[in-house]
Structure 1
Amino acid sequence: MQNKSVRILIFLCIVVIGCYATIAQVILVREFLNIFYGNELCLGIVFGAWFSGIAIGAFAGLKVERISRYAIIVFGISLLAMCIVLPVQIISIRCIRGILNVGVGEYISFLPLLFTSFGLILPFSFIIGFIFPFSSKVIQGATSDIASDIGSVFIIESIGSLIGGIVFSFFLVTRLHPFKVLILLNASLSFLLFFLFICSDDSENKRTKKVLKFISLAFTLSMIIVWFSPVPDKIETLSAKIRWKTLNPNIELVKSVDSKYQHIDIGRHSGQYSIYLNGQYAASFPNEYEYAQVAHLVMTQHPSPKHVLLLGCGLGGLISEMLLYPIETLDYVELDQKLLPAVEEHLSASDKRALSDRRITIFNQDGRYYIKNTSKKNYYDIVLISIPDPSTAFLNRFYTVDFFKEVRDILKHDGVFATSVSSAVTYIGKEVGSYTGSLYCTLHNTFKDVLVTPGQTNFYFACNSDGIITLDIKTLTERYMSKKISSDYFTEYIFYTLLQPEQVKFIEAQLSKRKDLILNTDVKPVTYFLNLTLWTALTGSNMHELFLRLNKTGLKSFLIPVIVALIGRIIYIVLKRSKGADFYNTRHLRINCLIVLATTGFTCIAIEILLMYAFQNIYGYIYEKMGIIVAIFMVGLALGGYIANSIIQKGGILCLKDKIPFCINNRSSISNKESKILLYNSDTKWISILMIIEGIIIFYALIIPFIVHVLSFYSVMAEVGLIILIGIAGILTGLEFPLVNKIFMQSCNNITISSGLTDSADHIGAFSGAILTGVIFLPLLGISGTCLILTVINISSLILITFSALSLKKPN
């Protein structure tokens, strides 16, 4: 039993652990987005590696605690180790492309990415999991029930996560680089540990505690000194340059800016500047000759454009060439308000003049959000999307049928929509054909007339009126000449090089003959998946054929294994019991409860990732909101844990069947037979509550697609709505965790074993859910298909726990 001061300090340490864990998770995600070109596939991989580390750590912690007499000492040493691990991990992530010898512009192959992610993330998350059983042990006795003690750790850590998410998102992210943030956290944690070792009982292992007091104090002072020194800034600069060299070794890094939306790098080579967003190439300037071709090819698609909307980068000569036409307005939508100031001093004179032109209006908001909410309906003559290929979920949202319908609403009846993707000049293979063809098919679903240009980049023009868009060189030349435009970088003769008739016919024939093309939608991002298969093919990954096979087989590839596993588990239990088992098989009950907890962890992290994707579809800035989203999920965990703890401490609600109160905390004064009766009554009641929660999770997974669809029409309400949905997912997980611990504690009075096994099971489920949802389910099946799988998984869990309840035999 610890004294009050020690217990308060332990609680504060647990709060800091939760805070540290959330900030670390967000920092690691942001770092991986930079080296993986902003591709959200790394979200599933990072979360998967994170949760696997916690699961392994929790299991290792319960094993170590059983042989360790000094829980508080191991607790303190683990926290000091945690302070050292994360800075090393960040530097390693920034160097990983160089270590793997990945070429410039190449994606890291899938399997190397998976294994290196685990190697780079697991050490820190292992410590988080390892600490949990010791945290439960050192606060034992804080409540009237051992299961509630475990729940208290769960709640306190979740509160710390909430604080970490809020502080990082609203304050730290735009003011301090990662190494400064870590110094602040390390100083706070080591300061608390110093006082913890002072206040703890010195009669036990006095010498070790004295050493730890000295280390904690020295570490705190060193962090304070380092904070005021140039060391953190130098480490940040050096490691950022190392990362840059692995991405672009032949380009000089001019400027690096971390905004709330993304990481911005400005590089320079041979007098030309390049913009990289989250490591991915976005634009170059000055690049007048290339952008002049784009500008005039797009602007001549309309006979007389007056109002133009540009989404994406317009620097390098694109805007200045578009302004040569007698247009009245050009609305330029650029998400990041830090981008233009970052490049302003390096812009050419023509770009600076263009940006100050009275006809231009700059909007700093997400392009899709702007289109959905603008009052300018049926207003624009031309809408041009100037963004990279749909290689990420963020970019894919500009290539879906849902987005195209939103664009159609702001175009005039004869308005023109223009977009582009990378392709091949003379050969359209299976992967490239499916990839570009999906866009062709999706545009045809929304617009009456669709044309595609040949070349290394395919430009797509779409319109709902006849005779507007054309690839006829004579017509385009007449439109260009009629405007009496004088450009230093373009003449009418360039149309002949861009639109060679035989190549125009070739690309049209290749795309129109494909019968297997699929619509790309918000809820099923096909183009994103096809880009994934193209990536695996180009990197030579063995996963390429697997992705294609899974795409062909569809849902049954995932549902059949779930059903087979359920049937196999039930048959196994029946066979074991037929050989002679007691009326009450605690081992099978406990294992089934762990399975239920694992499936809940699986489902809730999958729903969190799904809702992140849905949030991004509407708002587009998941990078900024990551800390808030994680924090809200942790708030749900804390609230759910608090509710479950309250039920446990009050003896629970009455059993829905037997209507008898539960009282089993003191069994020493009752007979063995009475003990069995009370144990039976207790377990049937807690299992009944667990079954109710599983039913709620099933219903929740079923309605998620419908709610997301409804919210997508109301952008203002969607942000609040989606965040609430994420919080509900956390509540459902938080409800089950203490409850399963309570069922465990009925037959196992060891708080370390119970907390370690349940924490491990929860995070094994979360690990599996993160990997499968982020990498396979969402790109392959979309939101609806993924939710169907989650529903079947939880129905299986409900059947399993119902089978456990029915298998219990009431003693005479």
Structure 2
Amino acid sequence: MMLFVFFFLGLFTAIAQVIITREYFVVFFGQELAIGFILAGWLLWLSLGSFFYSKVVSKIKNQLFWFSLLVSVLPFLLLIEIIAIRNLRALFVVPSYMLFSLPVMILSVFLVQGPFCFLTGLLFPLGLDIDNKKNKFTVLDLYLIAALGSLAAGLIFTFIYIPYSNHFTAAYFSAAVLFVCLLFFVKLLKLKRYFIYIYFSGLVLSLYFTAGSGALDSYYNLQRWKTFSNGIELLNNRDSNYQNIAIGVRDGQYSVFENGRISVSFPDDYADAQFIHPVMMQHKRPKNVLYFGLPANAIIREMAHYNVETVEFVQPDPLIASMLTSLQNLHDIKKTALINDEARHYLENTRKKYDLIVCSLSAPSTAFIGRYYTKEFFEEVKASLLPDGVFVSKISSFGEEIPGYDAAAYFTLKSVFPHCLVSAGDVKYLFASNGAYISMNADELKERYKNKRINSEYFNRYVFKTIFEKDRILEFVKELEERKEKIINSDYEAGGYYLNIKYWMNLTSVRLPGVMKVLFEPWVIFLLLSIVFVLFYRRRLKLSLRVNISALVSGFSGSFLFVLIVLAFQSLKGSLYGYLGLFSGLFMFGLFAGVFTSRKSKNINPAKLALAQGAFVLASIGVIVINYFFRGAVSLIPVIGMFMLCFLSGFVTGFMLPFLVKLHHLPGMKVSYSASIIYAFANLGAALGAAIGAAFIIPIAGFIESAILVIFINLLCGILIVKQS
């Protein structure tokens, strides 16, 4: 029966992990790099809980009672954590418009996750010890079944909970199933009556919260909304595969929030007119227009002055268009189409050619939006333009102290189109074409506007002078060209993540971007690792210490590769928010398969451990292969490859666990004690891999070099294990 308890405990905690990550994702404005800190905080507390058990809790009596009581508390700690995350900005006094600074983000993740994760880390070895006394199953059997529960959680959350329920429903229905299992556990083992009271109380409360989950979700959504909406009334709040979307209204003006950050407001007739008229001036006769952005009436009305025949609106997130349909009626152009498809997917598959393609999105401060400023996207745009077609984009400035997004977009666009122009100011226009008709000469644009005899209520030809100031543009372009750091954004590189970490570091009181870039350059990391290796190599290390080092490196490599893969997936597809549960499930399925494959291995010795350690090299090579050999492939191929690599990373990590536990275990030592020590070191390494990898190594070194780093670390660790034997 303990197998079923561990299965549903693994299922519940895995669902909790995905829920917590998604909740943080919204509060942190969709910053993908936060995933590393969230995962690191989770793993670090698990490690501390496991270590605390090995030193303190393992000695207490009546362990079954404490296991029962603590399991019953777990779901309600999750409730408190969700509420705390949704009110995180109020708790840490972070303004509604501002990103969390790096220290505050780390502190908030560490503190809020603490109680739930610490208790989870303590419960697993406690349950192992209880079962070990009954001599029914091995430690590895129970770890294996918990991993299988986590796989089930990933699949259920991705394909059932996301489309049909909210986070509270997902959490408390899963908790109710766990308590039903525990009640059968009491009956089969004929335990004392008070166990029934504990579990039945937990079941009743879980069902109560499940029944009221809709009201709970609505109430605490509103609490979160108040922390970043500045008095705007909430109209609608939904989750898609890409993000959380909220729509509010104040004084007749609607605002769309994507992962907590405002992306666009409408109607805004003057602002829309000042954007669209300079855009339409870039083509002689724009007939067919593809528009990436909000399908606003003002945009369509102003386009109608140019006798546009068709305009197609495509959103990065198709759900936004459907949520806005009831708020406005599109008119003025006969063939106005709302395309119910993700923008890049549509562009990859359409055979149509356009006179004008416009990208009017929020600033690329996340990889989700940054996908529309990469070399691959610009190449797709170029392929969909007619010979005299024009591409127009815009980018908001982040201020003089944090340059980079605008420069990266400009240099990336220049690498694809022969003619490229950029304006200066808070909102920068980017014009690109195969021809030379595009212009930012205010007098020329003024003359074009006059010749077209356009009479707009919200725009006149004199506005061109204020948008395109010649001297300011020349000075800005000169400054761009003189920059030493010229980043080319790519789906397969981490340039956007590097700019994000620079922006984060700018929010702290200590300015360290330059120091961090040097410290986490690949050659510096390789040098430091080599020095550490030599220091260890020259000493005679005990077997237990070598096993602990191997567990640390295995945990580091497994979580580092997981973060590397999911960040690469977000750069490529942008739908990590919806598929995070699936990635987690695949990793855990790999863990399950790895443990199952190696658990009955005999005659374990350091040489075999070193060989198993080298298996991380294969997973890392897979990352490199996808980056080098499938760049030009249909996007489905690298996506399938990333799913497979996630499974492989989990498999190698799981394959290592039986080796580590068996080598660490000595005669007269409890197996649960060895397992808890290995569990603690592996989780500590995993926490370091997630935090350092996501925050510094991957953004600075890039995807390829980061994969090479994993290869290097595991080769050094394997040599250390073998040579010291």
TM-score of the superposed pair, with normalisation by structure 1: 0.85
Residues 502-511 or 773-782, more deviating:
502-511
2:304 equivalent to 1:304: no
Q: 1:635 aligns with which of 570, 575, 589?
A: 589
Give the 5 Å matches for 1:118-197: 118-140=110-132, 149-197=138-186
Cα distance between partner residues in 2 of 1:272 and 1:253: 12
Q: Does 1:336 align with 2:317?
A: yes
Kept in 1, the 8 Å contact 2:619–2:645? The answer is no
Q: Which stretch shows the higher mean deviation, 111-120 or 606-615? A: 606-615
Residue number among 551, 558, 573 corresponding to 2:525 in the alignment? 558
Question: Aligned partners of 1:275 and 1:77: how far apart in 2?
Answer: 44
Q: Is 1:789 matched with 2:706?
A: no
Q: Give the structure 1 partner of residue 391 of structure 2.
A: 417
Offset, 1:215: 2.0
* Aligned with residue 317 of structure 1, among 293, 298, 303: 298
Give the corresponding residue for 2:605: 686
The match for 1:755 is: 675
Letter in 2 for 1:422: S
Matched, 1:259 2:240: yes
1:96 corresponds to? 88
Partner SS, residue 61 of structure 2: coil
Shift of 1:143: 8.1
- Structure 1 residues 503-514: aligned runs within 5 Å: 503-514=472-483
Q: Is the 8 A contact 2:33 2:695 kept in 1?
A: yes
For residues 310 and 397 of structure 2, the distance between their equivalents in structure 1, rounded to whole angstroms, comes to: 32
Name which of 575, 579, 591 aligns with 1:621. Answer: 575
Residue 547 of structure 2 corresponds to 593
Report the Cα distance in structure 1 between the residues aligned to 2:546 and 2:146, rounded to whole angstroms.
26
Among candidates 55, 66, 84, match of residue 74 of structure 1: 66
For residues 700 and 185 of structure 1, do their structure 2 counterparts lie closer, same or farther at Cα, with a shift above 3 Å needed? closer
Q: Does 1:773 align with 2:693?
A: yes
* Greater gyration radius: 1
Q: Pick closer, same or farther for the CA change 1:527–1:163 going to 2, 3 Å.
A: closer
Q: Does 1:696 align with 2:615?
A: yes
Question: For residue 224 of structure 1, what is the aligned residue in structure 2?
Answer: 207
Matched position secondary structure for 2:68: helix
Q: 1:632 Cα deviation (Å)?
A: 0.8
> Do 1:287 and 1:316's aligned partners in 2 also have CA atoms closer than 8 Å?
no
Aligned equivalents of 1:609 and 1:802: distance in 2?
Answer: 29
CA drift at 1:487: 2.7
Superposition pairs of residues 356-395 of structure 1, within 5 angstroms = 357-376=333-352, 379-395=353-369
CA deviation string 1:173-192 (max 9, x = no partner): 23222222222122222222
Q: Is the 8 A contact 1:366 1:620 kept in 2?
A: no
Q: Deviations over 1:504-556 (max 9, x none)?
A: 2232232233243232233333244224313432x2442x31x3222245223
Contact between 2:309 and 2:334, CA under 8 Å: does it hold in 1?
no
Contact 1:686–1:743 at 8 Å: present in 2 too?
Answer: yes
Task: Please tell me whether the aligned partners of residues 518 and 524 of structure 2 are also in contact (alpha carbons under 8 angstroms).
Answer: no
Structure 2: distance between partners of 1:111 and 1:313: 35
Is the aligned partner of 1:33 residue 2:25?
A: yes
Given that 1:257 and 1:342 are in contact with CA atoms closer than 8 Å, whether structure 2 keeps it comes out as no
| SS of residue matched to 1:244 | helix
Separation of aligned partners in 2, 1:319 and 1:618 = 30
* Bigger mean CA deviation after superposition, 687-696 or 791-800: 687-696
Report how far residue 49 of structure 1 moved: 0.6
2:428 to 451, 454, 458: 458
Q: Which residue number in structure 1 is paired with residue 375 of structure 2?
A: 401
Quote the Cα distance in structure 1 between the aligned partners of 2:8 and 2:301.
52
The verdict on how the C-alpha distance between 1:406 and 1:343 changes in structure 2, with shifts beyond 3 A counting, is closer
Deviation at 1:801, TM superposition (A): 1.0
Contact kept? 1:601, 1:733, Cα under 8 Å? yes
Aligned-partner residue type, residue 220 of structure 2: S
**SS of the counterpart of 2:248?**
strand
**Equivalent position of 2:273 in the other structure:** 292
1:527 and 1:177, CA in 2 relative to 1: closer, same or farther beyond 3 A? Answer: closer
Alignment of 1:539-558 (within 5 A): 539-542=507-510, 544-545=511-512, 547-552=513-518, 554-558=521-525
Q: 2-side partners of 1:322 and 1:590: how far apart?
A: 72
1:293-325 Cα deviation digits (max 9, x unpaired): 111111211222233222232336224423432
Q: Show the counterpart of 2:441.
A: 472
In 2, Cα distance between the equivalents of 1:272 and 1:707?
A: 45
Is the contact made by 1:438 and 1:520 (CA closer than 8 Å) also made in structure 2? yes
Structure 1 Cα separation of the partners of residues 638 and 485 of structure 2:
34
Name 1:606's counterpart in structure 2: 560
Q: Which amino acid aligns with 1:782?
A: G
Q: Give the conservation status (yes or no) of the 8 Å contact 2:5–2:181.
A: yes
Matched-pair contact (CA < 8 Å) for 2:316–2:344? no
Return the alpha-carbon distance in structure 2 between the equivalents of residues 459 and 535 of structure 1: 25
What one-letter code is carried by the residue in structure 1 that aligns with 2:608? I
Structure 1 residues 43-94: Cα deviation after superposition (integer angstroms, max 9, x where no partner): 1111111111111111112223431233332322221121211000000011
Shift of 1:471: 0.8
Runs of 4+ aligned structure 1 residues displaced above 6 Å come to 141-144
- SS for the counterpart of 1:330 is strand
Distance 1:326 1:595, change over 3 A: same
Unaligned runs of 5+ in 2: none
**How many residue pairs are counted as aligned between the two chains?**
723
Deviations 1:169-208 (A, max 9, x none): 1111232222222221222222222232233254xxxxxx
- Does the 8 A contact of 1:389 with 1:421 survive in 2? yes
* SS at structure 1 position matched to 2:724: helix
The separation in 2 between residues aligned to 1:637 and 1:327, in whole angstroms, is 56
Q: Which amino acid aligns with 1:469?
A: I
Displacement of 1:637 after TM fit?
0.5
Q: Give me the whole-angstrom Cα distance separating, in 2, the residues matched to 1:593 and 1:316.
A: 65
Aligned partner (choices 404, 408, 419) of residue 438 of structure 1: 408
Task: State the SS of the aligned residue for 1:447.
Answer: coil
Query: What TM-score, normalized by structure 2, do the two folds share?
Result: 0.95
% identical aligned pairs: 27
Retained in 1: the 8 A contact 2:627–2:704? no
CA RMSD of aligned residues (A): 2.2
Q: Distance in 2 between matches of 1:358 and 1:404?
A: 29
CA contact under 8 A between 1:438 and 1:517: conserved in structure 2? yes
Unaligned runs of 5+ in 1: 1-7, 203-208, 575-587, 653-681, 806-812
Shift of 1:18: 1.3
Separation (CA, whole Å) in 2 of partners of 1:116 and 1:171:
30
Helix, strand or coil for the counterpart of 1:250? coil
Q: Is the 8 A contact 2:158 2:582 kept in 1?
A: yes
Quote the offset at 1:643 in angstroms: 0.3
The one-letter amino acid of 1:168's match is: F
Which whole-Å CA distance do the structure 1 matches of 2:303 and 2:21 have between them? Answer: 38
